[in-house]
Homo-oligomer: A and B are copies of this chain.
Amino acid sequence: MKELLKDLDKAFENKIRIGIMSALYVNKYLDFNTLKNLLGVTDGNLASHLKYLEKSEYVVYMKEFLDRKPNTKYFATPLGKKAFKKHINAIEQLLK
């Protein structure tokens, strides 16, 4: 059990961060507004949790322009996907 608890990641000890990672796990990428609407959170809240995940190197973003308007796409990194899968697997295993 101690071993499984070690696989639980502080980065995912927050429901918004779990939401972000789930969304970026199953979608190749998502832009800021899509993520915001999907999760039903405020701009500030989403931005702060995205920043946390960027610092952990679990999420990266790419800025581009669509019709001269800035558009930011967010991606889960391979490291982030791996950590998230490990976290979810550990939770599932804990109940077995």
Contact = CB atoms under 8 A, between A and B. Distances in A.
Contacts of A14: 13
A94 interface: yes
Contacts of A60: none
20 contacts: A1-B19, A1-B39, A2-B38, A2-B39, A2-B40, A5-B15, A5-B16, A5-B40, A8-B15, A8-B18, A13-B14, A13-B15, A18-B91, A18-B94, A19-B94, A22-B95, A26-B95, A26-B96, A91-B91, A92-B92
Interface of A: 1-2, 5, 8, 10, 13-16, 18-19, 22-23, 25-26, 38-40, 88, 91-92, 94-96
